[in-house]
Structure 1
Amino acid sequence: MDTQLLSFEFEVVTVNKTGDIIKRDRQTTLYYVEELTPEISLEMIAIPGETFLMGTCQNEAGFLGSQIPRHWVTVKPFWITKYPITQAQWQVVSTFPQVNLSLNPYPSNFLGENRPVEQISWHEAKEFCARLSQFSQRCYYLPSEAQWEYACRGTLSSPFHFGETITTDLANYSGVNWEYNGKLCSQGFYGNGPLGEDRRETTTVGFFQVANHFGLYDLHGNVREWCEDVWHPNYVGAPTNAIPWITGGDETKRIVRGGSWNGSPHKCRSAYRGKFDPNASLYDIGFRVVYY
């Protein structure tokens, strides 16, 4: 890569089982800037290559059968956006020459230049990648599901990159219990962690000012994020080299990861997998892009 590499410092926190912060670290990593305009750019964070254990074990709270079997995946180095794509970034790229689809420059329900763009279909996210690639002369993609999970975990095997639980002081999700006809339908706490806020909207990217060990923000909550892969009900036969899994499976559904402001903490786990119609959009689904 002939692009200038820069470094930045970020804070990583670790919580105990009850959600108390027990450790704070300052770390550094490399990134490059993909300039869209003189004022708006993408920060692409370096993710090192490694072999990691994808999926989860059956004793992890929130476990579902779609998250097994655990399997080793070898990931080559790649670059990924520090944050989910913002509305400002989307607006710029939507003005670039069309490749396949037209794009609405203002699709989001919760307006704000530095909030994540949402109400984006998978096909529209792919068009963003195509326009960005044509503009930059670099090939940008949606992350594979394996790349996304590896980037989210940030070298850790715990349910969250914060540790064994999560709090709404660190991420934007629904931190309250939801009941219907006297029955608990959704828990706002995870494990021994606390209840918290239910903001009912997105927050600006980086709002909580804490990253994972790779220097990435907003991986747990805020908006769910599209991945390249089609939906498979489990990991039987999954690739072990982190390429998108686009053979077999249900082509009417694509993978979403990371949980959102509208979901429980269980759905924010690093291992949690969701699926959604690629033609549809929702006000808690966005995306980020990778280069490799």
Structure 2
Amino acid sequence: MRVFPTFRILRLALLCALFWLTGPAQAETGALHGNGETLAPLEAFRDCDTCPEMIVLPLGSFVMGAPLEESAFVYSLWHKPEPGVVPGYAHEGPMHEVEIDVPIAMGRNEVTREEWLACVAEGGCAHTPDPRVLGFGGVYSRADNPRHPVMNVSYLDMLEYVAWLNRKVGADVYRLPTEAEWEYAARAGTRTRFAQGDTLTPDQANISVFHWEGDRRVPDPDNRRVPVPVDALDAANAWGLRHMAGNVLEHTMSCWSERHLGLPTSSAYLAEAERHNTCRRVAKGGSFGSGADYARPANRGYGTENSRLKSTGFRVVRALQQAD
């Protein structure tokens, strides 16, 4: 059973001023690890030898979502221009402030094949995923390095992995992130299109680059076309989280909605996600096969709970308690 702490509520005007002047506000106190060890924001830890490495996220607030024009390019790839229609995806709005009031740590990396197969070996996960990846041109490649992100696992498979982790630590503390938590972590205190700035290159993230040949959008021959091991590339954001942009698309526990719900806190988004038994789950971050605009923190997609896709993986979060 999770126990959520109560925090002082600051006036909205003060929060907005702090956000726009200095970025997301961060708590001065550390967070308590489950075994009583005090951990500072951005400190890393691991619960067991086969458990994912976790990073304590600072508490704070951020503006979730994006203005319509930020998704105009992606929108234009799939929709013809219409008179009087502003291009862009309304489902990335409305922009709203969210206070992160549930202390958590997030996986530094996407869950790896090595970590997943440890769950299989101990009988916690029933599915052994296929390491083959279908790239451009119908060519299969293998992503079977132990440090490759696990793919070809469904949301329901992911729940088995989370349950296994919780049995290992003897507490109900691991889960998938909500969409709000994921976007907060991906932004890492930034307010630009990407955590890396207003542009994103293949040197910074495992994404694909495309060019136009007439009216056809064609992938560049230099694209990697496959996932890379989680340690590859200089792909960490300012909080040390790797591959929040690109590599594999990442499932969250949040249910898809045509517009953001506009909830004020991360605890409210968590309660909303836990309220649903089944739904289409939001996926974030883009993948090795998608362009940079799909890797924006605000970009949103979804998947069914039982679909196993060769470009989709996940990372976990761990509940913490605020230090006194």
TM-score by structure 1 length?
A: 0.80
Equivalent in the alignment of 2:46? 33
Task: Give the structure 1 partner of residue 110 of structure 2.
Answer: 84
CA separation of 1:273 and 1:82: change in aligned 2, threshold 3 A: same
RMSD, aligned CA: 2.5
**Distance of 2:263 and 2:110 partners within structure 1:** 25
Q: Which residue of 2 aligns with 1:267?
A: 294
For residues 113-158 of structure 1, give each alpha carbon's deviation from its aligned partner in whole angstroms, at most 9, with x where no partner exists: 0010000100101110011111112320000000000000001111
Q: Which segment is superposed worse, 139-148 or 106-115?
A: 106-115
The answer for the alignment partner of 1:158 in structure 2 is: 192
Q: 1:226-262 CA distances to partner (integer Å, 9 max, x unpaired)?
A: 1001110111x34321233338999541111000001
Report percent identity of matched pairs: 27
Whether 1:57 aligns to 2:84 is no
Higher-Rg structure is 2
Is the CA contact (8 Å cut-off) linking 2:283 and 2:300 kept in structure 1?
yes
Matching of residue 183 in structure 1 with residue 183 in structure 2: no
Secondary structure of the 1:74 match is strand
Counterpart residue type for residue 234 of structure 1:
R
Report the Cα distance in structure 2 between the residues aligned to 1:196 and 1:146, rounded to whole angstroms: 35
For residue 68 of structure 2, give the secondary structure of its aligned residue in structure 1. Answer: coil
* Structure 2 equivalent of residue 239 of structure 1: 263
User: 1:93 offset after TM fit, Å?
Assistant: 1.6
Q: Distance in 2 between matches of 1:178 and 1:172?
A: 20
Name the structure 2 match of 1:129.
Answer: 162
- Secondary structure (helix, strand or coil) at the match of 1:92 reads helix
Contact preservation (8 Å) 2:147, 2:231 = no
Question: 1:204–1:223: structure 2 CA closer, same or farther, 3 Å change rule?
Answer: same
Q: Which amino acid aligns with 1:240?
A: P
Cα deviation code 1:140-180 (max 9, x no counterpart): 0000000000000001111111000000011111112366x
- 128-137 or 196-205: bigger deviation: 196-205
Query: Which AA in structure 2 matches 1:256?
Result: A
Residue correspondence of structure 1 range 98-117 to structure 2 within 5 A: 98=124, 102-109=125-132, 110-117=143-150
The residue aligned with 1:291 is 318
Counterpart of 1:145 in structure 2 is 179
Shift of 1:220: 0.5
Match status 1:44 vs 2:77: no
| 2:71–2:89 Cα contact (<8 Å) kept | no
Structure that is richer in helix per residue: 2
User: Are 1:173 and 2:207 matched, yes or no?
Assistant: yes
Query: 1: distance between equivalents of 2:303 and 2:265?
Result: 24
Query: How far 1:82 moved relative to its partner?
Result: 0.2
Deviation for aligned residue 1:107 = 3.4
Structure 1: where are the runs of 5+ without partners?
A: 8-27, 189-194
**2:285 paired residue number:** 258
State the partner residue of 1:221.
Answer: 246
Distance in 2 (CA, whole Å) between partners of 1:284 and 1:168 is 17
Deviation of 1:4 (Å): 5.1
CA distance in 1 between partners of 2:275 and 2:313 (Å): 25
Show the counterpart of 2:153: 120
What secondary structure is seen at the aligned counterpart in 2 of 1:116?
coil
Q: How many residues align?
A: 256
**Distance in 2 (alpha carbons) for counterparts of 1:96 and 1:55:** 40
**AA of the residue aligned to 1:217:** R
Aligned to 1:75: 100
Give the TM-score taking structure 2 as reference length.
0.73
SS of alignment partner, residue 146 of structure 1: helix
Task: Measure, in 1, the Cα distance between the counterparts of 2:294 and 2:212.
Answer: 14
Q: 1:230 to 1:209 in 2, by over 3 A?
A: same
Q: Does 1:199 align with 2:224?
A: yes
